[in-house]
Amino acid sequence: MHNLQLNEHGRLRHFLTIEGLSRELLLQILDTAESFAALPGRPVKKVPLLRGRIITNLFFENSTRTRTTFELAAKMLSADVINFNISTSATTKGETLLDTLRNIEAMHSDMFVVRHAQSGAAHFIARNASPRVSVINAGDGRHAHPTQAMLDMFTIRKHKGDFTPLRVAIVGDVLHSRVARSQILALNTLGVSEVRIVGPRTLLPTEARALGVHVFHDLAEGIRDVDVVIMLRLQNERMDGALLPNEHEYFRLYGLTDERLESAKPDAIVMHPGPMNRGIEMDSEVADGPRSVILQQVSYGIAVRMAVMSMAMQSQADLGGEA
């Protein structure tokens, strides 16, 4: 099948999902990110790679944090950034997504960073945008959040080096999580030895095997001897849909505590894509403890987003215009 994300030279044109990308390409993203990771420590924090380029953040769903890291990444690449926060209510007033897209295209953007509440929205925009625009998916519905997954991979590599011997457990609401879907794809593409998902059946997809994971319902069992524990955020609204009785029982069964973490490997790291609910997904002891790498994830996020943006923009040079 034609891969929308790659140009005819196999280079990254859009970054919509991890699915369909090769191990080599994922490693290239990580290596490129590595070269940017040192920048924040330097007195001059910018590189001129995307000077003169316009990057538009198209956020149909609110997210200050993700938008800010994308904005920072773009600015460190010397691009100009426009932010559009388009609440869903504005689009329901009559303007279709396609009309919104055409309007913003008329402002000569080179890249759209898109977040949308519907699965497939980033694909839709990539299919309908002008060929001179690259689309980066900053999260679409329950489908994908590939830059988050890559920053998690970056964090794992920083701490563990080689992916192949690793066992990784993803704990919590996998069913509704675009982060988990992208993480699972990335981990499997990078060749880890095992990916596990852990949670009550109401929060795990019924066809989990289609994702290439092992399913656990008991936290201690699920994280036994793993190298990496990834805790997912539990959205408040999950309590309303008969998915869980209450937060108290969730924490009692699936909340990560120092005691529970003992079944993982002694050097296991603990991750969370944020924003974290202390006392629901994990104890403060764990979140602030020596094995937590949660804050590193955030700072690595900038380097990874710089890598993806610069790679996607470089592939536009293949189109023939100015490099």
Q: Which residues bind other proteins (CB under 8 A)?
A: 1, 4, 19, 96-98, 116, 118-121, 123-124, 128, 140-144, 178, 181, 205-208, 210-211
The residue (of 177 and 310) whose beta carbon lies closer to other proteins is 177
Q: Which DSSP helix (H) or strand (E) runs through 80?
A: strand 80-85
How many other C-beta atoms can be found within 10 angstroms of the C-beta atom of residue 3?
13
CA distance 163 to 192: 5
The residue (of 40 and 241) whose beta carbon lies closer to other proteins is 241
Q: Are 172 and 96 in contact (CB under 8 A)?
A: no
- Nearest distance, CB of residue 279 and other proteins, angstroms: 28
The residue (of 159 and 214) whose beta carbon lies closer to other proteins is 214
Peptide bond into 275 cis (omega under 30): yes
Burial class (CB in 10 A: 0-12, 13-18, 19+), 252: exposed
- Nearest distance, CB of residue 131 and other proteins, angstroms: 18
- Nearest distance, CB of residue 158 and other proteins, angstroms: 28
The residue (of 50 and 144) whose beta carbon lies closer to other proteins is 144
The residue (of 72 and 97) whose beta carbon lies closer to other proteins is 97
Helix (H, G, I), strand (E, B) or coil at 209: helix
- Nearest distance, CB of residue 70 and other proteins, angstroms: 20
- Nearest distance, CB of residue 11 and other proteins, angstroms: 20
- Of 238, 239, 216, give the one whose Cα is nearest residue 229: 216
Angle at alpha carbon of residue 158, lines to 154 and 159, rounded to 5°: 125
The residue (of 157 and 181) whose beta carbon lies closer to other proteins is 181
The residue (of 37 and 122) whose beta carbon lies closer to other proteins is 122
- Of 216, 222, 160, give the one whose Cα is nearest residue 191: 160
Which tokens hold the place of 79? 């691009």
CA distance 171 to 232: 6
Helix (H, G, I), strand (E, B) or coil at 252: helix
Q: Which residues contact 110 (CB under 8 A, 6 or more apart)?
A: 50, 53, 54, 55, 79, 132, 133, 134, 313, 316
- Nearest distance, CB of residue 272 and other proteins, angstroms: 20
Which tokens hold the place of 66? 């993700």
Q: Are 142 and 119 in contact (CB under 8 A)?
A: yes
The residue (of 145 and 260) whose beta carbon lies closer to other proteins is 145
- Nearest distance, CB of residue 109 and other proteins, angstroms: 19
- Nearest distance, CB of residue 182 and other proteins, angstroms: 10
